[in-house]
Amino acid sequence: MLILDTAELPASERAEAYHAAAAGETGSCSIEQERSGAGVWKRLEAWNFGPLTLFATHGSGMSIRRTAHNARFDSMNTISIITQSQGRGAFTWNGHQQYVGPGTLALAQKSAGYEYGWSGSGLSVAFMVDADRFGLPEHLVREAIPLLSNSSIGPLLLHHIHALHQNADRLSAEAGAEKLASATLELTRALIVSVTQEGPVRRKVAEDTLLTRILAYVRLHLADPELTPRRIAWAHGISLRTLYRLCEENDFSLEQWIIRRRLEGCRRDLASPEHAHRTIEAVARSWGFGSPVHFSRRFRQTYGTTPNEWRRRSR
């Protein structure tokens, strides 16, 4: 949902309008724009997924600073995960400094204060949620802030956030929006505790989030035809028997889930003008289907039409 597009405003009002919109959506802050007047341009969008809000900020360079003084003006203490889809952002907290690009993310806790921004043109995608939703001690969250790059869960969460953003209009309006929020929070909890030293909390969160982490791992590797249950179990440090038992306890068929997600990806690509130049076999192969015959049969069983018919009707 579009919150603000400064292109619709006089140049003299753009910086103030963005500050008001950002503060209204995310809380008290101070903002320094890299340019002034007509050089300021911002497009701010936000989508609600139950208790979680996803933000996309596209525009000219700036720096946003949240201090302990700012936090006192907010009724909520929030946690945010920040990514930079375009450009390179800079995140600073308590002496810790890091660059944030398309393949990295930053963890911010409002009560701890932080600074974030970029130079030139950039696109920042972030989500924000009340810290109470995580059920983690505040000191544990702060301990994790400078250590995220050490976690193997970071790429899973990053891929998940990008997928949410790419389909935010549709996904936020669907009945499953709150379940997506729950999955996002579970992945973030797992990310935080994966780099901390608090044993009991770490073990408990690892147990609670195992299935969510497995599904995020599968989504990230859907295109790999070598994605097997044995490999999935190995990647998560569990036995194949434990993996099957976990799926059974959740009334869940891992094989069918993988095939359905792959078919959905193929169906989208076959209907997209961006992929019109690719053969049906190439599209199927890019989603992990090694056999064109097997793919066509499963596609027809699921959607009641052949891939070729579906592509022709979608043009």
Q: Identify the bridge partners of residue 46 per DSSP, sorted by sequence position.
A: 55
Task: Tell me the per-residue pLDDT of 158-188, one tens digit each, with 9 for 90 and over.
Answer: 999 999 999 999 999 998 899 999 999 999 9
What SS3 state is found at 74? coil
Predicted confidence at residue 29, as pLDDT, reads: 87
How many residues would you count in the chain?
315
pLDDT of 75 reads 61
Q: What is the DSSP letter of 75?
A: S
Point out which residues pair with 31 in neighbouring strands. Answer: 64
SS3 of the chain: helix, strand, coil, percent, to 5: 55, 20, 25
Per the structure block, which two tokens stand in for 204?
A: 């408990």
Higher confidence at residue 56 or residue 136?
56
Instruction: Catalogue all structural domains in the chain, each as residue range(s) with its CATH number.
Output: 2-220 (2.60.120.10), 257-314 (1.10.10)
d(CA 267, CA 50): 28
**Who's near 28: CB < 8 A, 6+ residues apart?**
66, 70, 71, 73, 74
Q: Report the sign of the C-alpha dihedral through residues 300, 302, 303, 304, in that order.
A: positive
* Angle between helices 210-220 and 254-271 in degrees, nearest 10: 40
The angle subtended at Cα 197 by Cα 196 and Cα 203, nearest 5°, is 90
3-state secondary structure of 261: helix
The confidence band for 74, taking pLDDT boundaries of 50, 70 and 90, is low
Calculate what percentage of the chain has a pLDDT beyond 90. Answer: 70
Please give the Cα distance from 54 to 45 (Å, whole number).
8
Please provide the average confidence, as pLDDT, over all residues in the chain: 91
d(CA 220, CA 95): 33
Distances (CA, A) of 44 to 30, 105, 129, 198: 17, 19, 18, 38
Let me know: does 33 contact 62? Beta carbons within 8 Å.
yes
pTM score, two decimals?
Answer: 0.85
Structure tokens at 30: 């101070």
Q: Which H/E stretch holds residue 249?
A: helix 240-249
pLDDT in tens, 204-253: 888 889 999 999 999 999 988 889 999 999 999 999 999 999 999 999 89
Dmax over CA atoms of the chain, in Å, equals: 64
87 near 138, Cβ under 8 Å? Answer: no
Number of H helices, E strands in the chain: 14, 11
Cβ neighbour number for residue 241 with a 10 Å cutoff: 9
- Look at residues 100, 105, 96 and name the one whose alpha carbon lies nearest to residue 87: 100
Which of 111, 58, 46, 112 has the alpha carbon at shortest distance from 85?
58
What pairs with residue 127 in β-bridges?
A: 54, 81
